[in-house]
Amino acid sequence: MEIPTELKNFVQACVPLAASHEHGGVKRLLTELIAEPSFASSIPPFGEVETSPRGWTLGGEFVCHKADDLTVMILDTLPGVEQPPHDHEMHAIIGVFEGCEDQRFFARSSEGVTPAAGRSMEAGDVVVLGEQSIHAISSPAGRAARAIHVYFGDIYDVERSLFHPDTLEQHPFTGELYDEFCRPAS
Ligand SMILES: [Fe+2]
């Protein structure tokens, strides 16, 4: 995929901000980026979506930038699947630019992990997730989500966790287990 200029400029501006842990600055830039009405149409569709080994079509991701202190990707989330709760072990900022990304959040306590409030993110909405945040994403029927996901680290090279969709028991994150923990949307 050819990365549109606005997105390229956004990534370039995020590099020094990530190096100095300026999450607020990245949030402001991401909010401005997706508020631009022409932005969504500048991102081409991914094309054919791969089916997972267990038969889920989750969406797709396109990595725009990957470094030790910053990962930026375009993430598509397709309806029909409740994806499992997971953490990132780093700050993250999500900005939805098309469709609707449903967020379920979970709280950690001495009792373990419990469901907390959720939020439906519409185009233009931005959410900041702390280092210890746990969330799960899905999209409602007919409203596939497209979003920019920014991680303040290398999301592909970090030990993080997945949580069983029913028991919320914690497990090391693997792609295989992520697939196993998906459930059909209710
Ligand atoms: Fe996530």
**Interval between CA 12 and ligand 1 midpoint (Å):** 22
**Interval between CA 137 and ligand 1 midpoint (Å):** 7
The pTM assigned to this predicted structure is: 0.95
DSSP letter, residue 45: -
**Interval between CA 84 and ligand 1 midpoint (Å):** 9
Q: What angle do CA 183, 154, 117 make, to 5 degrees?
A: 40
**Among candidate residues 122, 134, 150, the one with its CA nearest the CA of residue 24:** 150
Express each pLDDT in 113-134 by its tens digit: 999 999 999 999 999 999 999 9
**Interval between CA 157 and ligand 1 midpoint (Å):** 14
Helix (H, G, I), strand (E, B) or coil at 175: helix
Express each pLDDT in 74-93 by its tens digit: 999 999 999 999 999 999 99
Whole-angstrom CA distances from 105 to 60, 85, 86, 118 are 22, 8, 10, 6
> How far does Cα 146 stand from its chain's mean position?
10
Number of domains in the chain: 1
Measured in residues, the chain has a length of 186
Read off the CATH number of the domain in which 158 is found: 2.60.120.10
Which residues lie across from 171 on neighbouring strands?
A: 162
Q: At 66, list the tokens.
A: 């990957």
**Cβ atoms 94, 121 nearer than 8 A:** yes
d(CA 55, CA 46) in angstroms, rounded, equals: 19
Q: Is the pLDDT of residue 49 over 90?
A: no
Name the CA radius of gyration of the chain, rounded.
16
Instruction: Provide the domain limits for residue 35.
Output: 5-184
d(CA 152, CA 46) in angstroms, rounded, equals: 24
Confidence of residue 32 (pLDDT cuts 50, 70, 90): very high
**Interval between CA 111 and ligand 1 midpoint (Å):** 23
**Interval between CA 129 and ligand 1 midpoint (Å):** 9
**Cβ atoms 71, 50 nearer than 8 A:** no
**Cβ atoms 146, 99 nearer than 8 A:** yes
Which backbone phi and psi does 45 adopt, to 5 degrees? Answer: -65, 155
Confidence of residue 12 (pLDDT cuts 50, 70, 90): very high
